């Protein structure tokens, strides 16, 4: 394929990362609507409250448990907390974990233009690949939209059957933007490697709209991948299933028996799943990928 036939526009993007500091009182700002992003066992586990962590809210298990916000150089208690959410650990101290999350902070955000309908999409640069950071919204004859997304103002894009996703363009190529493609097996392997393994799928999830689970951390969206729990539509049903608990993306990998490999994220675990078996005539989302 030709490289860079799609257009890239750099966009500044930064992320907060948890990493012990003084505890103060009475924050000047209102954090009442901010959910904790990380979990700490004791106050001593809190990272330094510096400019990188300004506004970060951490749940501390120490009795009585509180949520603490980093506010102007001090960790301040936000009151007793009853949260039972499964959160990522605030103190990931291994050199490998620190390096991994530092890499996430430096992910570059760009914009790509679909010259077919002039829609502009967010995208992120992961190694030597550019991944769409929004679901494809290119209209084809057989594509579908989800009214639930419209009601909540979520950009779920369109849902496609596999044949439509793989061959639905005017020239019978994939429905992806010119110069991009459905993810190949190699692309999927590179994504898994970049995030540090399949168990780190939570870093791809959006911070909102996922159903909460005691068994899985909340989405941190550290890469800006922003995967909403858009669900999917079975061809045999007149409604979208698993909205709020699951999202599924088509790949170009099929086994020849009316099933294809999909990329999946779930609310009940932190796994980036690669699953065989979905029927080709189910309607699912598409995230295109291109070479840098």
Phi, psi of 167 (to 5 degrees): -135, 15
Residues 267 and 213 sit within 8 Å (Cβ to Cβ): yes
Q: Residue 12 — very low, low, confident or very high, per pLDDT cuts 50/70/90?
A: very low
Provide the pairing of β-strand 74-80 with 23-24: parallel
Please tell me what DSSP assigns to residue 115.
T
- 16 pLDDT more than 60: no
Look up residue 192 and give its two tokens: 């898994």
* Residue that is written with structure tokens 């992003």 in the block: 37
Strands 129-132 and 232-233: unpaired
- Tens digit of each residue's pLDDT (9 = 90 or more) over 42-76: 887 787 888 878 888 888 887 678 888 888 888 88
Spatial separation of the C-alpha atoms in residues 1 and 37, rounded to whole Å: 40
pLDDT digits (tens, 9 = 90+) for 192-223: 999 999 989 999 999 999 998 877 878 999 99
This prediction's pTM: 0.71
pLDDT at 2: 47
Instruction: Flag whether pLDDT at 105 surpasses 60.
Output: yes
Domain ranges of the chain: 23-90, 108-291
Say if CB 81 and CB 66 are below 8 A apart: yes
Cis omega (within 30 of 0) on the bond before 64?
yes
């Amino acid at each position: 394929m030709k490289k860079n036939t799609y257009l890239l526009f750099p966009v500044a993007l930064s992320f907060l990362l948890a990493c012990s500091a003084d505890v103060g009182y009475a924050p000047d700002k209102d954090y009442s609507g901010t959910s904790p992003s990380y979990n700490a066992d004791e106050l001593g586990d809190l990272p330094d409250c510096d400019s990188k962590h300004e506004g970060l809210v951490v749940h501390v298990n120490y009795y009585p448990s509180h949520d603490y916000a980093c506010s102007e150089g001090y960790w301040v208690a936000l009151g007793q907390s009853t949260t039972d959410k499964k959160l990522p650990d605030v103190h990931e101290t291994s050199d490998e974990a620190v390096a991994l999350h530092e890499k996430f902070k430096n992910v570059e955000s760009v914009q790509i233009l679909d010259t077919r309908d002039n829609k502009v999409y967010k995208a992120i640069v992961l190694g030597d690949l550019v991944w769409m950071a929004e679901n494809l919204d290119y209209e084809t004859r057989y594509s579908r939209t989800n009214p639930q997304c419209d009601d909540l103002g979520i950009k779920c894009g369109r849902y496609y059957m596999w044949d439509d996703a793989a061959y639905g363009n005017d020239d019978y190529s994939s429905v992806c933007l010119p110069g991009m493609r459905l993810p190949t097996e190699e692309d999927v392997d590179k994504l898994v490697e970049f995030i540090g393994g399949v168990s780190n799928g939570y870093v791809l999830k959006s911070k909102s709209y996922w159903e909460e689970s005691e068994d899985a951390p909340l989405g941190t969206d550290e890469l800006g991948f922003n995967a909403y729990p858009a669900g999917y539509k079975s061809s045999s049903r007149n409604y979208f299933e698993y909205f709020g608990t699951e999202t599924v993306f088509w790949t170009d990998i099929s086994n020849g028996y009316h099933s294809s490999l999909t990329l999946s994220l779930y609310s009940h675990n932190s796994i980036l799943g690669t699953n065989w078996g979905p029927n080709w005539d189910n309607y699912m989302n598409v995230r295109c990928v291109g070479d840098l």
